[in-house]
Amino acid sequence: MKTNDLASRIPWTLVVFLVALVVPWLGSRYNTFLATQIAISGLFAVSLNLLLGTTGLVSFGHVAYFGIGAYVCGILMKTYAMPFSIALPAAALGAAFASLVFGFFCVRLTRIYFAMLSLAFSQIIWAIAYKWNDVTGGDQGLPDVPYPDLDWMNSIPLLGDLRIAGQFYVVTLVVVGLSLAAMRRIINSPFGRMLTTIRENAERASAIGVDVRRYELAAFVVAGGFAGIAGALFGIFSRGVFSDYVFWPKSAEVMIMTILGGIDHFWGPVVGAATLVLLNQETTSYTEYWSFVLGTILLVLLFAFPGGIVGGLSAGFAWLRRKRRGAAGPETGSAEVATVEVKRA
């Protein structure tokens, strides 16, 4: 029991953050590259999960806001040579504004219609990105988006030793860390708890006088804004913004990440993003049949682990604990408590 207490007292999130922060100093450019990709995908997936897991809205067009963030940031930095410190907030605001407009219509619909309308909106954004040559670069996109000006880092010890990609990773990690912290606070706030209530029983929520649509819209906007931040970072990381960013299969991809990790847990989507990114890197080096692999993973997931990796693990731990207790003495119902605990973590 004592060890358990110790383990629960360690601020794991901080530990993970610090470990992640050290990556660029370990010398492998490739690991830094992977870590940047995981951090950004993780943020994107967590933002989707605010809709999927927390509020119970199946958005099949979340990639639209990711794309808008990427384009706003990319256009400002490349075409107008604006600094990152302006382009990033602009990207978040732009994506949040678009989600306000589109979300206004989406939240009026239920279930499958919601999914279809969010898909239609994301395809509209794709069509605009694909066609509006003068601004978005059309089908050729905007290659060569510059890195932010990080020269100030060069005078700082340790940071100065890094290449620009490493320095950008540090920036990414800080932005992602702050965004995740903010989202965690939102989810644990009364507002966030109300979203969960709506997911579990929207009718009851509206019966007690909650404006369900307004709450759903607010969640949509918050999720869209954070997706925009992820998109902005990804555009710089990928050294360009392209219309593929907003094409609908990308929405399916981030959805798979989220489900893979587990939608019932805050950190689930991050775990899912990391797993998928690593798996993709490994698989594509050996085979061109990545889609087949992904489809098979998805099937296994749906049938064997509908709770995702984190859901499966926590259920496994709960089972183990129950078993150990069951051997020691009669069942006391603490297993229930244990699952709840894990769930909250």
* Beta carbon nearer to another protein, 5 or 288: 288
One-letter-per-residue 3-state SS of 280-292: HHHHHHHCCCHHH
* Number of shown-chain residues binding another protein (CB under 8 A): 62
Per CB under 8 A, which of residues 93..112 are in contact with another protein? Answer: 105, 108-109, 111-112
291 binds another protein (CB under 8 A): yes
Residue 104 neighbours by CB distance under 10 Å: 13
Stretch that binds another protein, among 11-19, 92-100, 223-231, 245-253 (CB under 8 A): 245-253
Distance CA 247, CA 117 (A): 15
282 binds another protein (CB under 8 A): no
Distance CA 229, CA 36 (A): 14
* Beta carbon nearer to another protein, 243 or 314: 243
Distance of closest approach, residue 229 Cβ to another protein, in angstroms:
17
Distance of closest approach, residue 216 Cβ to another protein, in angstroms:
16
20 binds another protein (CB under 8 A): no
Residue for token digits 């903010």? 182
Distance CA 90, CA 76 (A): 9
25 binds another protein (CB under 8 A): no
Rg of the chain over all Cα atoms, to the nearest angstrom: 21
Residue 239: phi and psi, rounded to 5, are 65, 25
Distance CA 337, CA 133 (A): 57
Among 101, 302, 320, 340, binds another protein (CB under 8 A): 302
Distance of closest approach, residue 292 Cβ to another protein, in angstroms:
4
Distance CA 240, CA 263 (A): 30
60 binds another protein (CB under 8 A): yes
Distance of closest approach, residue 328 Cβ to another protein, in angstroms:
36
With beta carbons less than 8 A apart as the criterion, state whether 225 and 234 touch. Answer: no
- The three-state secondary structure class of 32 is helix
* Beta carbon nearer to another protein, 29 or 193: 29
Distance CA 106, CA 118 (A): 6
- The three-state secondary structure class of 163 is coil
Distance CA 232, CA 18 (A): 23
Among 17, 97, 191, 248, binds another protein (CB under 8 A): 248
273: DSSP letter: H
* Beta carbon nearer to another protein, 295 or 316: 295
204 binds another protein (CB under 8 A): no
Distance of closest approach, residue 90 Cβ to another protein, in angstroms:
21
134 binds another protein (CB under 8 A): no
Distance CA 102, CA 119 (A): 11
Among 152, 292, 317, 319, binds another protein (CB under 8 A): 292
Beta strand ranges found along 98-159 (DSSP E): 142-143
* Beta carbon nearer to another protein, 30 or 329: 30
Stretch that binds another protein, among 84-92, 121-129, 174-182, 320-328 (CB under 8 A): 121-129
Q: Facing residues of 234 across strands?
A: none
Distance of closest approach, residue 260 Cβ to another protein, in angstroms:
10
Beta strand ranges found along the chain (DSSP E): 142-143, 240-241
Name the site residues for another protein (rule: CB under 8 A). Answer: 29-30, 33, 37, 52, 58, 60, 105, 108-109, 111-113, 115-117, 119-121, 123-124, 126-128, 130-131, 133, 138-141, 143-144, 238-240, 242-245, 248-249, 252, 255-256, 259, 281, 284-285, 288-292, 294-296, 298-299, 302-303, 306
